[in-house]
Every structure is written in structure tokens, then in C-alpha cells.
Amino acid sequence: MIGGSDDPVTHVRSLFAPAPGLIYLDAATYGLPPRPSVEALTRALHRWQSGEADWVEEWDRKGEVCRQHFATLIGGTAGETALVPTASAGIGLVAASLPEGIDVVVPDDEFTSLLFPLLVAEKERCVRLHRVDFADLADAIGPGTGLVAFSLTRSQDGETAPLGDVIAAARRHGARVMVDATHAVPFVPMQSWIADIDYLVCHGYKHLLCPRGVAFLHLRRDHWDEVQPWFANWRTGDPLYDRAYGGTLDDLAKDARRFDVSLAWHAWAGAEPSLALLVDWQASGVLEEVKSLSRRLAAGIGRPAPTASIVSIQVRDAEAAAAALAETGVRCAARGGNIRLSPHVYNTNEDIDRAIGALARFID
């Protein structure tokens, strides 16, 4: 549990160390790690260097803890969660198992880590892609739709799809739902919808404050026999750590661990403290402070209240504006013609107000 301060938010911020004078509003590019994660990574590297590490207990089993933490964050189960290195690895695994000729609805300007695997499936498996405007996702689902695939919160502008409407349309027409939740979790509640999402991927190096190389694929139990475990490896055998030679596919894990990709150990060792803290902050309400900061930022630059944590505004030259803001100590990103700002738990009201002032000269 959070401790060490009468104000839990102040204590949480004390776990981070952005550079002096830097206002870091770029968690949508990469989130800053809390001190316990940096310590875990440092410890792992030193133990590797010394040759004294117990790789199973100190590194590999951290993946199992991360699996449970992520399942808690989305309201799912660990048994339906696979460990993968990137969101595209999870998307690709599902795309490679799609029935030939299936109709798939996808946003026309979808992030390429989701779009490209589906384009490969279009070429190799005769999947029929229907590319539509993001705003038209729910309306584009019809009687012939087999799958709708989309980023729940878009990385270019922070807009969040009406998940309830999309799910309702998909269920009405017997379509499946595949969601990239990388920019939604942990700020868009998933608990009410997770049972209706067929496939969900999420990379951890952004809003989950994990090292790059830590990602998750959540597959509903009723799809385990349809998605093929193309990445099967020594870690997907059953029981774990007890099968490395010989065997048959009957020896694969009986849950979603059969879809795991062998872990990049140190990344998962560093991820475990971040995910544990996020679970704590979700339960204690600390993450609501981030959404409050995002609303404050949006109001200050004349934008609607955000649906997740990302706030974006279109400017004449986003790249030049982002560079100029960096010179003033405000770190953000240029995406799709927008200045994209993404607060997190380490930011303060003062950070937001300073950013609003710095942005003023770029807003018409």
C-alpha cells in the first residue's frame, strides 16, 4: 500500500526523478519509471554481471507476477493473459489465425502496429479489410463483419472510441472485437467491458511505466483453440520450468500461457514494481489525479475534456512547436499534426499551468 506521507499523491511523486526544470508530459511516447523499477533493473544488471543471479526466481518468475497485475488492472484473469514483447506480436498472432476471407473493420488511419499485421492477413489469407473513419466504427459493423479491430484510445490525438457502442454492434452482428488498449490502460476503465472483448493487447512502456519489451495479450478462453500458438517455446510447456526437450502439442500449457513469448528477463524484472504500484494507485484512487490534470490542461488550452489521459491540439507546425516547447522545458510530442501532451502521476498542477502558458503562443 502507499505510505510514507499524509498525502498519497505527494508520496507517489517522490518516487520519480525527472530532470530539474523539466515538465515531462510525454508518457504516450514513454512513461518515466518509478524508483523501485529503476532499483529492480539495476539489481538485475548487477546480478547478471556478477553471475550470482537465480534467473528463475529473480527474473523469469517476475513475468508471472506481472501477468496477475495486468489482469487486475483490466479486470480480467491471469489465465486469459499471455506475455508478449510488443503489441504487434499479439496482433500478429491473432491476424495469422483469422479465417480466410473474413471481413474485418479497421480505422483507415489506425496505428501501423495494428494495421500492418491485418494488411499481411489481407494479402496472405484473403482477409477483406474495410477501412473506415474512426468515428464510424460502430456504424460500419454489419451482418457480414467478422472482426472489428482498433485502438481504444488513439495515439495521434487521444480520442477514445465509444467501446460500449462498438461492442453492442459487434454482438448484434456476431462479430468479434480486437482492441489495442496501449493508450487507454490504466485511465480508461475496462472492467465493465473485458468479458465482451475477444482480444486485447497492451504495451507497457508508455502509460504502464514499464521497460520496453513488456506487453500483454488478453485472449478470451473460448478462442484458445482457434488462435495458433506460433510462438510456442520452452516457457509455454506444462508444467512451467519442467519441460525443455521433446514432447507434443498436448504438453502445452492449458491456459493463455501457451501463447507466451520467451521473456526478455530484465525488462520483466523492472516491470513488476511499476505494475504493482499501478494496481495500488488504481485501487486507492491516485490515478484519478492524472485524469484531473488532463482535464485542467484541456480546459487551459480550450480543448474538450479528454476521454483518457492524452490531450492534443492541432497547430500549424507541430514538429516545430514541440521543439520550441522542449526549449522551454516542456516535453511533449508531435503526432498527426497535433501537439500531444500526456500527463502521469509524477506531474503537478504547477506543471500543467506552466505548460498551458508555454502553449499559448502556438494556439490561434
pLDDT value, residue 2: 40
Total-model pTM: 0.95
Close Cβ partners of 81 (under 8 Å, ≥ 6 residues apart)? 67, 70, 71, 216, 217, 218, 256
List the end-to-end C-alpha distance of the chain, in Å, as a whole number. Answer: 45
- Give the span between the Cα atoms of 346 and 209, in whole angstroms: 11
Q: Per-residue confidence at 7, pLDDT binned at 50, 70, 90?
A: confident
Largest Cα–Cα separation, the chain = 66
- Give the span between the Cα atoms of 291 and 345, in whole angstroms: 9
- Give the span between the Cα atoms of 317 and 337, in whole angstroms: 7
Q: Which three cell numbers stand for residue 165?
A: 457502442
pLDDT in tens, 62-113: 999 999 999 999 999 999 999 999 999 999 999 999 999 999 999 999 999 9
- CATH fold of 55-278 reads Aspartate Aminotransferase; domain 2 (3.40.640)
Domain boundaries, the chain: 8-32+286-362, 55-278
- CATH fold of 8-32+286-362 reads Aspartate Aminotransferase, domain 1 (3.90.1150)
**% residues pLDDT > 90 (the chain):** 96
pLDDT in tens, 32-57: 999 999 999 999 999 999 999 999 99
pLDDT value, residue 6: 66
Q: Residue 331: enclosing H or E segment and its boundaries?
A: strand 330-331
